[in-house]
Each structure stands twice: as structure tokens, then as C-alpha cells.
Amino acid sequence: MGWSEGKTLNNCVPGKALGGDVFANTNGVLPSANGRIWYEADVGVDYTMSRSNSKNPAYRILYSNDGLIYGTYDHYDTVFQIFP
């Protein structure tokens, strides 16, 4: 795509979005289980802004391969369960 991390995505691929990166959960903030994989995605980000922009809402959703969904407003310091 020609996009570099931290750069404005909309300049490279207008109208597109990124998400679904694997989240390692190294701080143990999310529940773990054998075989569970966590993924992360930004929510409500305006992709005309760079990641370092102070207007970025920093809300992320975390979802697992076995159906759990959590959210965070503070970059993983705390999380809250959305589903189930």
C-alpha cells in the first residue's frame, strides 16, 4: 500500500482502514485461555490524522478468536468487557 506506521493512512489509500493486529496481552490485562488469540483495532479514528495526533480518540476494541470483546480508552491500562 505504501503506508508507514505513524503516517496518515488516507494519503496512501483514501477511504480505507486498518485493524485486526494481534494483541500479545503481555501485561495480562485480558483473560487468557489455552489457544485464545487477541486482536486489536482502533475505533472512531479519522484516518486523515496521523497516529501521533492529539485529536486521536485512542479508543480501541480488543476481540478474541473465541468470541470475547473488550474495549479500552487508556491504551490498555484498564479494559472493560463489551461482550458477552
Total-model pTM: 0.70
Q: How far apart are CA 79 and CA 30, in angstroms?
A: 8
- Cβ–Cβ < 8 Å for 8, 49: yes
The parent domain of residue 37 ranges over 1-84
Residues labelled catalytic:
40, 75
Work out how many domains the chain is built from and give that number: 1
pLDDT digits 0-9 by tens, 31-70: 999 999 999 987 766 655 555 556 555 688 999 999 999 9
- Cβ–Cβ < 8 Å for 38, 60: no
- Band (73; pLDDT cuts 50, 70, 90): confident
User: What is the CATH number for 11?
Assistant: 3.10.450.30
DSSP β-ladder status, 38-42 and 80-83: unpaired
Q: How far apart are CA 49 and CA 42, in angstroms?
A: 13
> What is the residue-averaged pLDDT of the chain?
79
The 3-state DSSP class for residue 38 equals strand
pLDDT at 75: 83
